[in-house]
Amino acid sequence: MSWAEIMDFVNSFCSPSVRLMPAADIPHTSFDIVDKALPTPHLLTAGDVAASSSVVPSSDSQYIFYTDGSLINLGTSDVSMGWSWVQIVKDSGFLNSIATYNRGIIHDWPSSSRAEAAAIYAALSASPANSVVHIYTDSQSSIEGLKHCFLSDYSNSRFYYKTTNFELWAIIQQLIVDKQLSVLPHKVKVHSNFYWNDFADSLANTAHTSDDAILISRLDLAAVHDYIMSYDDVVCESNPRHLFKQYHQMLYMKDLLALSRFRFISLLTDPSRYVVDWALTWHTLMFQPKFDNSFTKENVSRHHTLKFQLFLKNLPTLESLKRTRPDLYVEILTCRSCEDHLEDFMHLFLCKKCRVKLHQILTSYLRHLIQKIKEVGDNANCDYSSSIDRVTSLPCWTFSSNNWSSYSLVHGCLPTAFLEVFENLGISHLTAMNVVTAIYNNFINKFRKRIWNLRSYYKGLWEHTMNIFLKLKHSSRPKGLPKSSYLPYSSLPPLTHVDSRDSRTDWLKNSMQYGLFWFNHILGFMGRLTVLLNNRFCRMECRF
């Protein structure tokens, strides 16, 4: 049934004195900027929320509320947190038990627990002073948060700042103290088909697009502390210690992507179709296949090294060797496979001797993904055609000099779509990561056997002819040698787009406003990769 049908049904059976009351038009002084496609909600303070929420008076000062929260579109600019509360009048019969209700939304730091806490805040704001308030919720985190609010020293303890949404909970605690409320939390079993809880859930879900939804925004943030930490006008409600760490990790990530070897990330023509999943990328880089008689420990080590060399763009191509050992590799030396072009990193994939093989490997890569999707879909007994269409429509399956999504794929920067197609079929996140990782490692193994080993063979023949042996390559480089005239990474065009805003601000502020889950993936990725930024590969790029 639609929400309108439910409301008409309940109103038709309620007595004139107790009925579902739509939220009245509320005077307001300012508006928040939201998507023009959605109704513009009222912008209210804590006092306004209380004034707009008229509860049915109780003779014994006992008030019962069912609260719920709703979170949609996490990680996108359309993210929304809805909240609702429903007042219940006991001993009034089933149909007459719903006295009144309210619903709205809240912004910043999106999470389901924040939406649940906002619903409790709104219900307590509407409660009369000196009353006993029973809060029924299916959120265990909200019950724990309320229990902490009962501790007198909670807001002045270190534990307070380690609590998610600590400013919101501080307001709730101060509200309880100021109104002298006795709050009794009760746990409701989630998805138990309990009518009042489902009714609150329905309200919270419709708050995202409702034209009478109240926006809780300018809260009484100075209720318990003299100072409030904010970042770019967004109040910080996350562990400050973690937040500072995130900021510095963000700087590391910015420095990493600023390296010319990662410039291709900014050249993706359609980022919405190929978004790099950094957590998946790191998981794939660190994964080492088990070795046996057919895949020895030495092969595993070479396989692991090749993955990182591909990712860091540090394969020892001839152009790279010219810069490091110009005494051994002359300036005019060309690719030993085709003998037509200079052998830089991009040429490894565009060489006329390797192009067909690379296309075959990418086709095998896609076929392997489709096969796994079919297996998962058959086991789950669900339609997997849309998942296959999404994978095949990715622009990364044909390699060319201007297709940066395919360049990202062979580089090892894998897209979020690879994980999402498996997760949409009911596979857990970790299992999906392992499946994608195994397929990518198969690609690396084929690349090593069919392209890199053959290239190294032709190069080895030339080195043998020129008497460039291993001992000579490991000898000290003579001093005073001229540098190579080859411009490193010339295959990448210059940047054509510069953001008007500081990207550091955008990354951190977007995580506050939209809850970008990939932001935490970036931080975890950078925490592990920082040591690589200090190795000889990165120092080599700085020198040249």
Pair type for strands 80-88 and 98-106: antiparallel
Name, in order, each residue with C-beta under 8 angstroms of 527's C-beta and a sequence gap of 6 or more. Answer: 249
Listing from the earlier edge strand, what are the strands of the sheet with 182-187?
42-45, 214-218, 98-106, 80-88, 62-72, 132-137, 182-187
| Confidence category of residue 271, pLDDT binned at 50, 70, 90 | low
pLDDT value of residue 360 = 92
Closest CA to 83 of 51, 49, 56, 39: 49
508 pLDDT exceeds 80? no
Residue 194 vs residue 72, higher pLDDT = 72
Q: What is the 3-state secondary structure (H, E, C) of 119-151?
A: HHHHHHHHCCCCCEEEEEECCHHHHHHHHHHCC
Top-confidence range, 66-80, 269-283, 428-442: 428-442
| Confidence category of residue 374, pLDDT binned at 50, 70, 90 | very high
pLDDT value of residue 213 = 78
pLDDT value of residue 368 = 93
Top-confidence range, 57-66, 296-305, 531-540: 57-66
pLDDT in tens, 79-107: 889 999 888 887 665 555 777 888 888 88
Which domains does the chain carry? Answer: 46-224 (3.30.420.10), 259-474 (no CATH)
Contact 257, 281 (CB under 8 A): no
Q: How far apart are CA 200 and CA 87, in angstroms?
A: 10
Token pair recorded at residue 69: 């929260």
| Confidence category of residue 346, pLDDT binned at 50, 70, 90 | confident
pLDDT value of residue 363 = 93
| Helix (H) or strand (E) segment spanning residue 174 | helix 166-179
Q: 25 — phi, psi (to 5°)?
A: -65, 125
477 pLDDT exceeds 70? yes
Average pLDDT of the chain?
Answer: 76
Token pair recorded at residue 132: 């006993």
46 pLDDT exceeds 60? no
pLDDT in tens, 51-84: 555 777 777 888 889 898 988 888 777 888 999 9
Contact 44, 215 (CB under 8 A): yes
113-129: average pLDDT: 89
